[in-house]
Amino acid sequence: MISAIYDRRSIRKFLHKPISREDLTGIIQSGIKAPSSKNRQPWKYIVIQGTAKEEMLNAFRRGIEREENGIALLPQSRQHIAAAKYTVDIMAEAPVVVFVTNSLGKGIFAELTLEERVYEICNIQSVSASIQNMLLAAAEKGIGSLWICDIYFAYEELCQWLDCDGELIAAVAFGYPDECPRERPRKGLDDVVSWRS
């Protein structure tokens, strides 16, 4: 497990080699093993492959087009649109994309009371733990992954296409790596830890 933590990288180039159903199921099972707030297990997973992936990418591209030339929902993030287009290209090459939702979520447009917000934050942390478990399980099987939040540039379009309950949290692209990236820089311990006793 420790070597999966240390060796995992975000993979942005994938081989055209399918992932077996058994491996995919194993990865998602690891996601389901994550801890969750009050054991609510708010996660749901939508596995996208084949022609469904093409339809999903069209929805994603429509969203980016709207964000660029229509009504932008994230106007202050314009400088990240080029990166989002690159993310779409990566997803197009990945054999599998898994969307992960918070089935108990009210959605990013909902106005929440303080209590509802805390509930939402706890559920999103639980879903994130599940995603990280999947990334590590994939790494252990030699399968690469990319955690994707550029989906927020096409949030409405993707939610409409996915037709899912709750709140979409992230997508994860999976595939056998066609690159071997070096470790990306990390802040030092001294920058992020304060010891108190």
Which residues are near ligand FMN by CB under 6 A? 9-10, 87, 146-150, 184
CA 176, CA 16: separation in Å to the nearest integer? 8
Nearer to ligand FMN, 57 or 148 (CB): 148
Least gap, CB of 48 to ligand FMN (angstroms): 16
Minimum distance between the CB of residue 10 and ligand FMN, rounded to whole angstroms? 3
Q: Work out how close the CB of 28 gets to ligand FMN at its nearest, in angstroms, rounded to a whole number.
A: 18
- Cβ-based nearer residue to ligand FMN, 54 or 89: 89
> What is d(CA 13, CA 181) in angstroms, rounded to the nearest whole number?
10
Minimum CB distance to ligand FMN, residue 139 (Å): 10
Collapsing DSSP states into helix, strand and coil, what is residue 44?
A: strand
Assigned token pair, 51: 């022609």
Q: Which is nearer to ligand FMN, 3 or 20 (CB)?
A: 3
- Strand runs labelled E in 49-176: 96-102, 144-148, 167-175
Complete DSSP assignment for 119-152: HHHHHHHHHHHHHHHHHHHHHHTT-EEEEE-GGG
> Token match 């980016």: residue?
64
10 or 37, CB closer to ligand FMN?
10
Taking a C-beta distance cutoff of 8 angstroms, is the pair 123, 37 a contact? yes
- Cβ proximity to ligand FMN, 19 vs 90, nearer residue: 90
Minimum distance between the CB of residue 21 and ligand FMN, rounded to whole angstroms?
Answer: 26
